[in-house]
Structure 1
Amino acid sequence: MELATLLQPIDRPWEADALPRWDGPDTLVLAFGSPELMDAPGPLRHLQATYPSSCLLGCSTAGEIHGTLVHDHQLSVAVARFANTRLRFADTAVSGPEDSEAAGAALADQLRGPGLRAVLVLSDGLRVNGSELARSLSQHLGPGVAVTGGLAGDGARFQRTWVLTAEGPQSGHFCAVGFYGNALRHCHGSKGGWDTFGPARQVTRAKGNVLFELDGKPALPLYKSYLGERASGLPATALLFPLSLQDPEGRNEDIVRTILSVDEEAQSLTFAGDIPEGHLVHFMRANFDRLVDGAGAAAQGLGDPRLSPTLAVAVSCVGRRLVLGERVDEEVEATLEALPLGTLQLGFYSYGELCPQATGACGLHNQTMTLTVFQEA
């Protein structure tokens, strides 16, 4: 595998020799960029013109990760030319979260084939039920295929996101790349670092990813009571106080859910993934040091130090960035420090992270640092 990464300001022309001339069907181009590229897609069009035969995968962000730094208004790019790994691109359009299950099946149908080892998927960050997408992909691809990725971001605005398609950056799309062959070395990790507080409350009324009642009471007023004066900043301030979701029978590991929107009339909260009735929830808040330690733990043990080069795709949650503030670079420094020497890292801040759970099936995570590492034997 040959590998290069670069950071491109979206308001400047590309330098003549900035991009390696590695176009071909076994070349992967990753591009994580500013939401503004939806209206001014010139840098993305340049990538597509430079790599017409390659697999291009990208999305909008709540911050672009490149090396040990987090940026805004940039395009973070990786170009990886594989020697013995085949690639295939898949794309499907959606109109809303209710299409997520069917979209997962459509992507799986396009990617399923002999030698499929891993899938990297990016979705619209707002028109999605991440739980349904992850569940559908795992179900239709079957065991043995690792699915990782994330939900596109739009800073703290929650207005629109884009995913890179053959027609350019578009809303309402889910895209993925499949990796085929025994030469691929692929691993992943995901950790949080949030603390719970307050009593456990039971989900007494919910539908899909919309929560209506906790302990028989309207969910939105109860949640606002925990936020206090921060409630006036919803939904953005909800990123600072996610929910921990616990199976009451203890069959699965606890997961974290982030709020995407609120409905004042229905007094409900809409999340990035499912909120099953009967589950228990805890409110959560940040611990700065534990967030950074969690990021480092996500990278621990990933990758084979004997193989080079190494590409690490980091997908962290926008909520972590808001909490860490000026310290946000510390968590991407922590991941790179734990990865094999010489690893090239890029990624983005997201509205949700996709990564296998303890069961092996892909699941939606929120408020985590999730890493996917690619090497080739």
Structure 2
Amino acid sequence: MKIVQLQKNKGKNWVYISPKQKLTNPLVLVFGNRFLLDDLEIYNEIKEMFPDGHVVFGSTCADIIGSSVEEESVSITAMEFEKSQFLIKTSNIINTELDSFKTGNNLIKQLPSEGLKFIYVISEGSFVNGSELTKGMNAATDNNILITGGLCGDAARFEKTLASYNEAPKEGEIVAIGFYGETLEVTFSIYGGWTPFGPERIVTKSEANVLFELDNQPALDLYKKYLGEKSKELPGAALLYPLNVKSNDEKQSIVRSILNIDEENNAVILAGDIPENSKVQLMMTHVDNIANASERAAKQALELRQNKPELALLVSCIGRKLVLDQRVEEEIEEVLNVVGTETVLSGFYSYGEIAPFHGENNCQLHNQTMTITLISE
């Protein structure tokens, strides 16, 4: 695998992070600031640099390249595969009457199943129900294909997200990259590092990803009560206090970020579904826990590998970034210390991470995790 990385900071020229080399028919992952990806000039520059490239775009809360994390930049990781093949399909949830489940199901069914080893998904993060999207994708593969990826971001603005394949980035787009190859080796892991606290409450009224009542009381009122003075900073403050959700249908609990609040209905809007009768608790963390969790995820991803990883795709959550603040690069450095400097790091901070639980096959929507996918040929 040949890999080239470049980066463009706002108002500056492109800079090569790795040695410049000619790539043939490369997969080009472009992660970056939403406003910069909206600039048609930047799109044209990338297409000119990689005229035969298969260019996939995704807006982020910050992009990861090497050991750095940048908010006002665009990062490119271009890969030429020597022994493997890939195929890219897209769907747009705005331009279809399908719900998130059917959108995910139909998208994955576009990929030929013979020889399919792995799917990487870059999804829009504004309109999609990530829980239903992942359920639909799992159903299309009978839970037999590893699927990882993430929901695009827009910093803490939550205004709109962008994604695309070989066209100018746009709203509503979901991109699936299918990987094929006998020698392709892909491993993954996720880990959070958040701790539940306070009383456990029952979800007594919810609809999809909207939480109306806990213990028959308005959810938003209860949430504000726990936040105290910090409730004045909602919805941004909510990213620091996600919910631990235990559903009767699931073996493991899921962390759900609160993306917005609905004052009119006294409700809380989450990044994914929150079933009625499930149990929830508030969660919190600190910098050391976040960094340690990233190290643990990297070690787990390495456990079952036969070969050294050539590429590490990282998807971390905006809530983790807010906790880390000026120390945000520490969790990336923890990963690099584990996988080694010969492994190329690329990725982004997201509105949600897509991966199975460690040791499982069916992917789910996660929040507040570091999700690591290691790839080699």
Range of TM-score over shorter length: over 0.9
Q: Which runs of 5+ in 2 are unaligned?
A: none
Instruction: Number of aligned residue pairs: give it.
Output: 373
CA distance in 1, matches of 2:225, 2:121: 37
User: Which amino acid is the alignment partner of residue 376 of structure 2?
Assistant: Q
The CA deviation string for residues 340-374 of structure 1, in whole angstroms up to 9 with x for no partner, is 44111011110000001254200011001111111
User: Which amino acid is the alignment partner of residue 128 of structure 1?
Assistant: V
For residue 334 of structure 1, report the CA deviation from its aligned partner. 0.5
Change (3 A) 1:200 1:368: same
Change (3 A) 1:214 1:98: farther
Residue 71, structure 1, aligned to residue 104, structure 2: no
CA distance in 2, matches of 1:319, 1:74: 20
The CA deviation string for residues 115-160 of structure 1, in whole angstroms up to 9 with x for no partner, is 0111000111111111111111111022331000001111111111
For residue 231 of structure 1, report the CA deviation from its aligned partner. 1.2
Q: Which runs of 5+ in 1 are unaligned?
A: none
For residue 306 of structure 1, report the CA deviation from its aligned partner. 7.0
Report the 3-state secondary structure (helix = DSSP H, G, I; strand = E; otherwise coil) of the residue aligned with 1:111.
coil
Equivalences for 1:23-34 in 2 at 5 Å? 23-24=24-25, 27-34=26-33
For residue 52 of structure 1, report the CA deviation from its aligned partner. 3.9
CA distance in 2, matches of 1:300, 1:6: 27
Report the 3-state secondary structure (helix = DSSP H, G, I; strand = E; otherwise coil) of the residue aligned with 1:101.
helix
Point out the more displaced range, 31-40 or 148-157: 31-40
Residue 324, structure 1, aligned to residue 320, structure 2: no
Equivalent residue for 1:47?
A: 46
Residue 122, structure 1, aligned to residue 122, structure 2: yes
User: Which amino acid is the alignment partner of residue 122 of structure 1?
Assistant: I
Equivalent residue for 1:197?
A: 197
Equivalences for 1:74-153 in 2 at 5 Å? 74-95=73-94, 99-153=99-153
For residue 19 of structure 1, report the CA deviation from its aligned partner. 5.5
CA distance in 2, matches of 1:259, 1:371: 23
User: Which amino acid is the alignment partner of residue 231 of structure 1?
Assistant: S
Equivalences for 1:1-377 in 2 at 5 Å? 1-14=1-14, 20-24=21-25, 27-95=26-94, 99-248=99-248, 251-303=250-302, 307=307, 310-357=310-357, 358-376=359-377
CA distance in 1, matches of 2:360, 2:80: 32
User: Which amino acid is the alignment partner of residue 373 of structure 1?
Assistant: L
Point out the more displaced range, 128-137 or 54-63: 54-63
Normalised TM-score (structure 2): 0.93
For residue 202 of structure 1, report the CA deviation from its aligned partner. 0.5
CA distance in 2, matches of 1:295, 1:106: 33
For residue 51 of structure 1, report the CA deviation from its aligned partner. 2.8
Normalised TM-score (structure 1): 0.93
For residue 276 of structure 1, report the CA deviation from its aligned partner. 0.6
For residue 29 of structure 1, report the CA deviation from its aligned partner. 1.0
CA distance in 1, matches of 2:64, 2:94: 29
Point out the more displaced range, 227-236 or 125-134: 227-236
Q: Any conservation in 1 of the 2:59–2:162 contact (CA below 8 Å)?
A: yes
CA distance in 1, matches of 2:308, 2:361: 27
Report the 3-state secondary structure (helix = DSSP H, G, I; strand = E; otherwise coil) of the residue aligned with 1:171.
coil
Structure 1 runs (4+) greater than 6 angstroms displaced: 15-18
